[in-house]
A and B are shown apart, each in its own frame.
Chain A
Amino acid sequence: MSDLAYAPAMTTLAGQRPAVVTFLVRLVREKPLGAVGGAVFLVFLLCGIFADFLAPYGVNETNMAHRLEAPSWDFPLGTDHLGRDVLSRILIGAQLSMIVAFLAAGFATVVSLAIGVVSGYFGGKTDMVVQRGVDAWMTFPDLVLLIVIISVVGPGVVQIVVVLGLLYGIAGSRIVRGAVISVKENMYTHAAQSIGARTWHILIRHIVPNVMPVVIVLFTTRIGAVILTEAGLSFLGLGVPPPAPTWGSMLSGTGRTYMYLGAWLALAPGLCLTIVVYAINVYGDALRDLLDPRMRGSQ
């Protein structure tokens, strides 16, 4: 059974049960906290997806008769200074956060994969040049780079996705590169060469599938990082522009201004951020432990 530890999780499916079921059983049994994290994140994700149906009021529907009201049955999370329902705004905010998170983390993963696979597989001079480029990029502090770029190109979902994607993508390429270097030393890449496979064929069919466990973990942890960074940018006024209700801008705008009149205005988006990022991080850690063979047996 030692072979099982060697094979990435995707192949452990080959038994009777489908892969996903086997994986979920292992997750719950071996990493209960991670399972809870995954479940909590899933709840937020579903809220985001169905926000339009779940939100009891319109996002920008003002109601001057109910300004700065404390949580009640009508307004479960209270209302803000314009009488907008905080729950509705949190839900739509979740949607925005998820859209930005998945797009940016997805883009980042693609960038990491492309750079990491090329750099790691070809090695030598290619690796040298690419890695010095990555080094140079990583000497800039993330936030400074973000603020400069966003203030030049202006805020917006597309800009944020591209910039965050590049930022995390380039940094994450190191991890993919490391995985590629160890995978390419496996005999099956030599065997693939010996049957006359082209380089791109080897990359797509033999290298990429075998670094997928690392890539999946990278993607998961990036989601948390992107949500936080996007909130940070919104807090600074560089995120998705108002009146879109992002958690970051809810914190910095109404949350900060009316904190003393209505603590729920700051608590709701703040807690949502904390919980969702904590959940995805815990889930990401569990995933790494389950998917990464090197982590097997530690604990």
Chain B
Amino acid sequence: MDTNLTGPLLDVQDLSVSFRTDRGIVRAVDGVSFHVDAGETLAIVGESGSGKSVTALSLLRLLDAAGSIDSGRVLFDGENLLDLDARAIRSIRGDRIAMIFQEPMSSLNPVLTIGKQVAEPIRLHRGTPWQDALREAERLLDHSRIPDAPARLKDYPHQFSGGMRQRTMIAMALACRPKLIIADEPTTALDVTVQAQILALLKELTREADSALILITHDLGVVARYADRVAVMYAGRIVETANARDLYGEPRHPYTQGLMASIPGVEGSIGHRLKTIDGQPPDLARLPPGCAFAPRCERATGACREATPALEPAGNGRLAACIRL
């Protein structure tokens, strides 16, 4: 509950989000709490539909009309973002909190030049004249390792490759020196060699700017290399949070263990089948009673199907939501 400036940069408390669908109201995020310290990298990991992207969008209130935030607080520098009026939240978006999306192919407007798009947040938040904003955009692009940035300023997005577009998005996100960057699967659409470059660049530039980073991903390999802390999401809830190294060393929650076991390894992989987690993620409109992971869990007992487990300390500063620990 610490809301003064010595507290965490971002403190999300009991956030719940639901969507109106044809099949009734679906709770996509259910009582999620986590925090991000200044300069820290938090990875939010989970399968598709686990609620990680919805969580990210909710922080800046960017959900579309069908989604609504039912409860919770999003304290950023001690200020609840969910209480702000439209003008106040706009002044934070892109200035103090920036976002990077997963589709670099369509995140840039095809009819505007790269330079104008990178300069846009500077213009919006600082009111800088075009010439100066464009010069700053050039510096940002150069900093994001776009080769020959001055010449590429006048290019259109279709002249850029996927990797270059994502570099552009990074340049745009960093334009106003935000305290927090939310990157929603920033490398999903890119090929593997480019993925590593983009993540390394993102990490380097955020560290340089002393920004915190929320990295949303389904790729545990990414987590291992770039995150300080990890939150694992399953069916709209956080099931385990821990330091990245601890989580790798010793996953506690059965779901996290399942995820770790299903990473293809180098040693001993020949002749062995890759371990998988049986079954499928649950339908959010028809969640099973009790622990949502119970139907797929090897260690589930009758008690697991009765009450939803709460996130509780599981040693070493980590939290896990499992009654079988």
Contact = CB atoms under 8 A, between A and B. Distances in A.
B91 A196 contact: yes
Contacts of B93: 193-196
A11 B98 contact: no
B110 A197 contact: no
B110 A7 contact: yes
Nearest to A188: B109
A154 interface: no
B124 A196 contact: yes
A7 B158 contact: yes
A193 B99 CA distance: 10
A197 B107 contact: no
A4 B158 contact: yes
Contacts, number: 87
B134 to A, nearest CB: 16
A181 to B, nearest CB: 12
Interface string B80-102: 00000000001111110011010
Contacts of A212: 111
Interface in B145-182: 155-159, 169, 172
A294 interface: no
A194 B156 contact: no
Interface string B52-68: 00000000101001000
B103 interface: yes
B120 A197 contact: yes
Contacts of B214: none
Given A195-B172, A196-B95, A196-B124, A8 B110 contact: yes
Interface residues on A, range: 20 to 34
Contacts of A10: 111
Contacts of B303: none
B110 A191 contact: no
A20 B314 CA distance: 67
A191 to B, nearest CB: 5
Contact of B98 (A4, A14, A123, A195): A195
B101 A187 contact: yes
A198 interface: yes
A209 interface: yes
A187 B57 CA distance: 13
Given A195-B172, A196-B93, A197-B120, A3 B109 contact: no
B107 A191 contact: yes
Contacts of B92: 196
A11 B120 contact: no
Given A7-B156, A8-B111, A187 B103 contact: yes
Contacts of A188: 106-110
A11 B60 CA distance: 31
B236 interface: no
B90 A124 contact: no
A66 interface: no
A199 to B, nearest CB: 9
A206 B107 CA distance: 11
B121 interface: yes
B65 A194 contact: no
Contacts of A123: 65
B94 A195 contact: yes
A192 B120 CA distance: 9
A194 B60 contact: yes
A210 B121 contact: no
Contact of A196 (B101, B125, B156): B125
Given A196-B90, A196-B125, A206-B109, 9 more contacts: A11-B110, A124-B65, A188-B106, A188-B108, A191-B99, A194-B99, A196-B91, A197-B90, A210-B109
29 contacts: A4-B158, A6-B158, A7-B110, A7-B158, A10-B111, A11-B111, A11-B156, A14-B156, A123-B65, A188-B110, A191-B107, A191-B108, A191-B169, A192-B120, A194-B60, A194-B62, A195-B93, A195-B94, A195-B98, A195-B124, A196-B91, A196-B92, A196-B93, A196-B94, A196-B95, A197-B94, A197-B124, A209-B109, A212-B111
